[in-house]
Structures are given as structure tokens and as C-alpha cells.
Chains A and B, each alone.
Chain A
Amino acid sequence: MSTMKERFAPEPERYEFSAAPMHQFELARRDFFKVLGAGIAVFVVAKDALPAQETAAGSRSFHNEELPKEITSWLHVGEDGVVTGFTGKAEMGQNIRTSISQTIADELRVPFESVRLVLADTTLTPFDAGTFGSRTTPTMTPQFRRVAEAARNLLIGVAAKEWNVAPEGLVAADAKVTDPTSKRSLSYAELARGKTLAQNLPAEDPITSASEWKIAGKPLPKVDGRAFVTGRHQYTSDIRLDGMLYGKVLRPPSFGATLTSYDDTAAKAMTGVTVVRDGDFIAVAAPSAHEAQKALDAIHTQWKEVPQVPSKEIFSHLKKNAEPSSNERFRRQKGSLEEGLAAAAHRVDATYNVAYIAHAPLEPRAAVAQWTDGKLTVWTGTQRPFANRDELASVFHIPESNVRVIVPDTGAAYGGKHTSDAAIEAARLARATGKPVKVVWTREEEFTWAYFRPAGVIEVSSGVTGDGKLTAWEFHNYHSGMSGIETPYDVANQLTQYHQVPLVLRSGSYRGLAATANHFARETHMDALARVAKMDSLEFRLKNLSDVRMRAVLEAAAESCGWPRKKTQEGQGFGLACGAEKGSYVATCAEVAVDRASGSVRVVRVVEAFECGAIVNPDGLRNQVVGAIIQGLGGALFEAVEFENGHIKNPHFSAYRVPRFRDVPEIEAVLLDRKDLPSAGAGETPIMTIAPAVGNALFDATGIRLNNLPLVPNGLRAA
């Protein structure tokens, strides 16, 4: 039934996406003006869906009429002049609440402050597959431009009718419509009063070009910033409902362990405690978190554990267990590798390994669930509210229309909050107790029972001529994924292949997906090739690169960091890397300092040039780019999940090292604003090239080539 569903083809490494979600727009059978109040509403309908669902042209009331099911975003101008945008996307720190509000204000010609956004609420917002893949800006920017433009025209039409003049000469600005001839004006609030006007329109390209933006394109501060610095913002884990209980789940001692004995007598005897055992699910709810913990501790269980692959052997395991793949989607080939290698003066082959890492968002998974008359409401920090809703409906055998999932602005996710775990746990306990229940995962649970960025093995074979032209490129990725797998360099003869391997640990999306692993391998390899060709690594890249946007970021980064840099002290090194993914381009230049005596490694300075088309909010973008560099330093230098026989051995911040203040280098983000290009997303691409840039700098400093991520978990001597 759904074109959106068919268009939605997740990357193969999104292992956590077991199935594409079903969806339905909940307001379909409602008189939404009753919900929102009178005013003017405009809906964007997904392009492909429109012909089948074309409704009467022009303005009309939606009273008692069904809304099309393929609405992807919409906008309401209320009688008080408040403008409300609706989208199923979620805010997790990437700052879309601000950037989308800017876009709406800009196109509707209203002050930024009069715009509010309703995000990620399965009852109030249109269906959305999820907030991932850097899709919010490229999809929502043009859509909200369209709805805002249509709303503006509707308002002009109302004013024209009121004054009995032609709409063509009227001007919309500063939240009012003015007739320049008579100097009359009416505010949007006045125009919306008593109206119930609505219009559908197809999603198309934006109309106001970026060079004419007045509010978009500016470094406006984060919406609701004051609520965050005062502690007033309520994250999911801060929600407290009347009579709410606190839930805790009993976890097996290791992955795949099976229960052999169970005794909950003592826990059940505790006042106010409810114990739920439903198949493998064992959990408690109590009036306070400490009572819940006490009850959990009082449940006696024994488990049968099973031997499993340890992290020490993971890479050989992945290579050995690759599935024979006939899937053409996973394989790209052109030219002849044999001929390419025959034409090469130098050949470089290498294997790269990338460890499992954890997202470790500072707000662990959390959910609050409440059942009322057979209907379920869940507040949870998820990137996929509609998928959560569908899963809850399926688990509890109730219609989707009886489930509402609301996502409060969340304490980050980085690709790690796609699944419904905490939501299901809280809902199960709430149903058993008849009271609202909150479940907040502990840090240890988050490090153990969430999913990880998959480990991977990458093998590269390549050839280059004596004067530095690539002749052959063979690239195999085992397990970590396909994102960013194709080389942007000009090579006539190449083979690129992704090999699936059955999961070892629960794995899934992580900011940038496998693009980080694939760029690490490729850009490290390019550095090695430049060395054998005896060329400067910038010159070598440019010689093999015709993509002008990639060349532009590379040259911008090189210029800002002063490439080629002369070493002025012992242990100093400089490295370069570049890449493109999801419509945006990045190049990174890193400077490192290595103390050979102690083996300590310090990243001193990072310059990163980034280009994602027309910039919607340079301040928010800078935060995303700098943030990606710092987060990426963790996976580059020292983050790795250690495991053995189904136990995570380092499920604590004390043992799983993430970047802290002392690890942060001097960072310069060079943002290239291409007002002539559509805005692409920026949440992921800036993380891809920090690891190879640092690795290449370490080689420059020491002559030691590091082919594994993390590069230096124990300093350089032990590596």
C-alpha cells in the first residue's frame, strides 16, 4: 500500500532493522482542527503518492474528511499567530528543532520566535521511518519550504478576498499581509481567525533560493536553550506520572544464557513489589528505584551459559564465517583487476580491522509507559517512534491506533536508539501492574544489552603506476557494512564487495554506519600508496580525483592546516584523509605528537573542511562537525568493546574509555557554504575521516603503520 515503504531501503549494516515498519497517519479519521484550533493548515504529500490520492484542488475544510495517508510534514497557522510545524523526526541534540524552525520562519515570513515544532509523536505527527541516515535536512528543508510557501499564499488569498483586491499585488512579510497600494495590512493571526482552511500539495523542490534566505542560513541559538541550562527540560528519564512505579529488568549473566532455576518468593513478599515473569522476561516494578533494585536482587536464578567467540578472535572469526554471497547489490565491478595490476609499478595489499564500539549516549535507554482503557502511551528516547509503535502493537496484540509513542528531546542516540527495548519493558510492567512504569537502563545495561557498531575486516589490494596513477583497486569489507564502500578516486579497474557474516554481538547502526570503517581502510591505504609512489599525499589524492566537491574540501583543509607541513619537533606528524557520503564532503588534516619514550600519543590539532550544500544553521553545523571529530577520536584512538563467552568485559566508563576534555585537540572546522546546492545532512559524514587522518599522522611521526581501529588503545609502544 505504501510507496514510502517501498522507497525505504536501509543499508545492509542496519542489522537492527528487522523489518520495514507499517504505518498509518493517526489523525486521518479526526477533525484535526478540533485538536489544533482553527486556522490554516498545509500538508505535504509524498510525491509518488499524490496521483492516487489527489483531492479537490484549492482550499477546503477537512471537517470529517480523511487526510491522505502519505502526508510527510505539515504546518498550522493558529488564530493566535502561532505557527506549528509537524514532523515525525526526533531531536537528539542534532539541533533540528532550531534548523527546521528557521526554514519555516524564513519561508512563511514570520519571526523565528513564533514558530514551534511538534516532533516525533505518533499521534500528532505524520509517519516517519526514523531519524537516521542524515535525512532530516535534505528531506524536511524542502518540504517545510513548500508548506510554508503554500500557507503564505493561502493567507494572501484570504486578505485579497477580505479587501476584494487581486492577490498578486499583496506582500507577505513580518507575519502580516500588506496591500502596498492602500497601505492596509492584516496580521496572520487576524487572517487565520475563524478559518478552517487546509490545502494539500506535493513535495517538490524549495522555491526560495539559499542566497535569498533571511532567517535560515543564520547562526541562531538552540531553541529552548534556557530550558536546558536550567535543568527544566524533561528528558524521558525525567518524566514522572502520578502513581508511577519504577521498573527493573533481570538480565541473563551472558548472551544466549538459558534459565535453569528460578525463585522469586522473597521478591514477591516485598511490599509494593510486582514481579513479572513472562517467558524469558523477568522484571520487577516497585514504588521506588531502590525498592525495585532490592526486589531484583532477591530473585534467585541460575543459568546455563554457552561458549562464544571472544573479542581476541573476532577478526579471524569474521573472515572465516563470511557467507558466500551472490547478492549483486553487495558487489561493484568495472574493468579488469588483472590488467590493472599488470600495469602497476607498485602493488600495496593490506588488511584492516575495526573493533566493535558502543554508542554510549549519556542518557541511557529509557521509557515511561501508561495504559488507559486498553490504550498504551509510551514516552521514550527513540530514533524510530513509528517503528516502536508498530512493535508495541505487535507485542501486545493491539491495533497500532491504540498505541501512542512520544519522543521527548533526547539525551542523544548516535544511531544507537533505533530499537524498542525499554519501551516494551516499561509497557509490559505497566500492563502487569495497572500503573504507569518507568524503566531507565543502567550504564552497564546500556553497554551490554544495547547494540554495537559492528566489527569488520577489510582487505585491500591495489596497484599504482610509477608516477602515481591508480591502476587497480580491490576492496572487500567483511561484516561492518557497505556505507562509503565505493572509492571516490578514479580507477579504471576495480572490484568492491561487502561480505555478510552472521552476527556475533547484537549490532546495528552507528553514526556514519560502515563509512567510518571503509574510509579508515581506504584513506590509510591511499596514504600507503602515496608513500610507495614517493608523492605528497595531498598531491597523490588530487592526481587521482576528479570529483570537484571532494577536491574543494581537500584543498580547503590543506590550506587551513598549511599543508604540506614541515616537522619542527621530534614525534610530530601530519596526516590527511577525505571522503564523501550522503551528499556531503569532508577532508581532515590531523597533527599528532608522539612521545616515543612513554608511547603516549596526543592529537594536537585537527582541521576539518566540510561541505553539505547550503548551510541552514552554521552554528548548529559547527557543533555537529566539531562534535563528530571529538566523538570520532574515541573510535580512532581507544574505544573497543571487549567480550568473551557472551560477557561484555568493559561495560563501564571506567573501563570503556570515551574522549574527555584532555583528549580534545585544537579544532578548526572550515565550513564551505554552497548556496547553489541543496542542503544535505551533516550528522554523520564529519565523523568518517578523523581516524585515517590521525593514523596517517602517526605513520608520519613514527614510520609505524597502524591498520586496526582503535589505533592506540594502550599507547604506541604496545600497539
Chain B
Amino acid sequence: MAKAMEIEVNGKHYAVSYPADTPLLDVLRDELSLTGTKYGCGEGQCGACTVLIGGAPKRSCQIPVSAAVAKPVTTIEGLEKEAKLHPVQQAFLDAGAFQCAFCTSGMLMSSVGLLQKNANPKREEIVHSLQGNICRCGTHPRIIEAVQHAAKMMQERGR
């Protein structure tokens, strides 16, 4: 029996019994019951499974769980702090930037990743950062609007 791996998700440590080559997505959803992160394609093409690993947005369907050991993972469930929504979540809510909302978790995580390294992105930079995230309902304009709004909120808060 292989030694259990340990991963850190949203500040909590979890022992993982799934094999080391299991996609992080399956471990999050099936073993840790963190189902906010979605399966959309399993091929790294749609972005629904995006999480932050060491602060950078990654496709969790393409990352073996072993590669997430010793790196802090943040999922959609980790954005809300003390019942207060992250500004990006709040901005999506305010803008009504979802329809079926199945892409929303991935959109949020990609946006949080972008705003962490670029506090005031231009529209083209937002488009570039979200190009790998598919929304089939066609809510793109509002998602861009929400990211811009979130950037503003975060800058005001930071001041």
C-alpha cells in the first residue's frame, strides 16, 4: 500500500487515497466532495475545472494529483471568507454574469488568477485570460464586465 499523499486545498490538509496519476479534478470532486469545480471536457479545453495552484489558474483535469502535493490549491469553495463573497464572486452576482452557470466556477477562478497578477487588466487582457474558458450560454460580455467591476472593487478595497 502506497503511502497516502497529502494535499492542501483551501487551507485544509487532506489525505488522498486515489492513485497518484488521478487527475486533481477527480480527487477534488469525488474524494474530497468539493464539487464546485466542474468537469466540462477532461481535455483542458473548456476551463470549467480551473483551480488555483500556488496562485496560478490551472486546469485540474490535466494535473495529476501528485503534482499538487505541497502546493496550496484554491477552489471555488475557498473564495468566500467568513460568509463574505470574494469581490469577483460579488461582481459576477451583481452583473448577472451567468445563465446555466456551469462555467461560472472556472470563470471565477481564471478571473481571480488574472486579477492577482494584474490588478487593472485591459479588456483585451481579460479576453486573453478567459480565452480558454468556454461559456456555451453566451454570457461573455457580462463576464468581462464583471471582471472589470471586480478589479475596481478590489482596488478601492486595497486603497
Contacts and interface: CB of A to CB of B under 8 A. Distances in A.
Interface of A: 92-95, 221-222, 225-226, 228-235, 237-238, 240, 246, 288-290, 360-364, 409-412, 414, 440, 442-443, 619-620, 623-624, 626-631, 652-654, 658-662, 664, 667
Given A240-B35, A412-B102, A653 B140 contact: no
Contact of A230 (B46, B89, B132): B89
Contacts of B15: none
B102 to A, nearest CB: 3
Interface stretch (B77-85, B114-122, B151-159): B77-85
A74 to B, nearest CB: 26
A658 B135 CA distance: 9
B135 A362 contact: yes
Most chain A CB inside 10 Å of its own CB: which residue of B30, B31, B79, B126: B30
Given A361-B100, A362-B40, A412-B99, A654 B138 contact: no
19 contacts: A94-B99, A228-B104, A229-B92, A229-B98, A231-B35, A231-B77, A237-B38, A290-B22, A361-B100, A362-B136, A412-B136, A443-B41, A443-B42, A443-B43, A624-B99, A626-B138, A626-B142, A653-B43, A661-B143
A659 B96 contact: no
Contacts of A667: 141
Given A235-B102, A362-B38, 17 more contacts: A95-B99, A226-B93, A229-B93, A230-B76, A231-B75, A231-B77, A232-B36, A238-B29, A240-B33, A360-B136, A363-B102, A626-B138, A629-B138, A631-B137, A652-B41, A652-B45, A664-B141
B40 A662 contact: no
B139 A229 contact: no
B102 A659 contact: no
What is the predominant secondary structure among interface residues of chain B facing chain A?
Answer: loop
Contacts of B141: 626, 664, 667
Contact of B136 (A230, A234, A246, A414): A414
B122 to A, nearest CB: 13
B118 to A, nearest CB: 16
Nearest to B90: A229
* Interface secondary structure of A, over-half rule: loop
Interface residues of B, number: 58
A664 B140 contact: yes
Contacts of A414: 136
The residue in B40, B103, B131 that gathers the most chain A C-beta atoms within 10 A of its C-beta is B40
Contacts of A234: 35
B45 A654 contact: yes
Contact of A631 (B34, B48, B138): B138
Interface string B91-115: 0110010111111110010000000
A463 B127 CA distance: 46
Contacts of A410: 100
B39 A631 contact: no
Contacts of B102: 93, 235, 361-363, 411-412
A8 B89 CA distance: 42
A661 B135 CA distance: 9
Nearest to A229: B89
Nearest to A656: B45
A225 B93 contact: yes
Contacts of A221: 93, 96
Contacts of A232: 36, 77
B85 A288 contact: no
B103 A653 contact: no
A608 to B, nearest CB: 12
Contacts of A360: 136
A623 B99 contact: yes
Contacts of A409: 100
B24 interface: no
Contact of A661 (B89, B105, B140): B140
B52 interface: no
Contacts of B136: 360-362, 412, 414, 631, 658
B130 interface: yes
Contact of A628 (B33, B39, B43, B138): B138
A231 B76 contact: yes
B108 to A, nearest CB: 7
Contacts of B36: 230-232
Contacts of A230: 36, 76-77, 79-80, 85, 89
Contacts of A240: 30, 33, 35
Nearest to A363: B102
Contacts of A228: 98, 101, 104
A226 B103 CA distance: 14
A667 B98 CA distance: 17
Contacts of A654: 43, 45
B73 interface: no
Interface in B1-53: 18-19, 22, 26, 29-31, 33-43, 45-46, 48
B39 A231 contact: no
B68 interface: no
Nearest to B142: A623
Contacts of B103: 362
A409 B137 CA distance: 14
A364 B137 CA distance: 14
B16 to A, nearest CB: 12
Nearest to A290: B22
A627 B99 contact: yes
B105 A412 contact: no
B20 to A, nearest CB: 11
Nearest to B135: A362
Nearest to A238: B35
A221 B92 CA distance: 11
Contacts of B108: 229
Contacts of A231: 34-37, 75-77, 105
Most chain A CB within a 10 A radius of its CB, from B19, B34, B42, B96: B96
B137 to A, nearest CB: 5
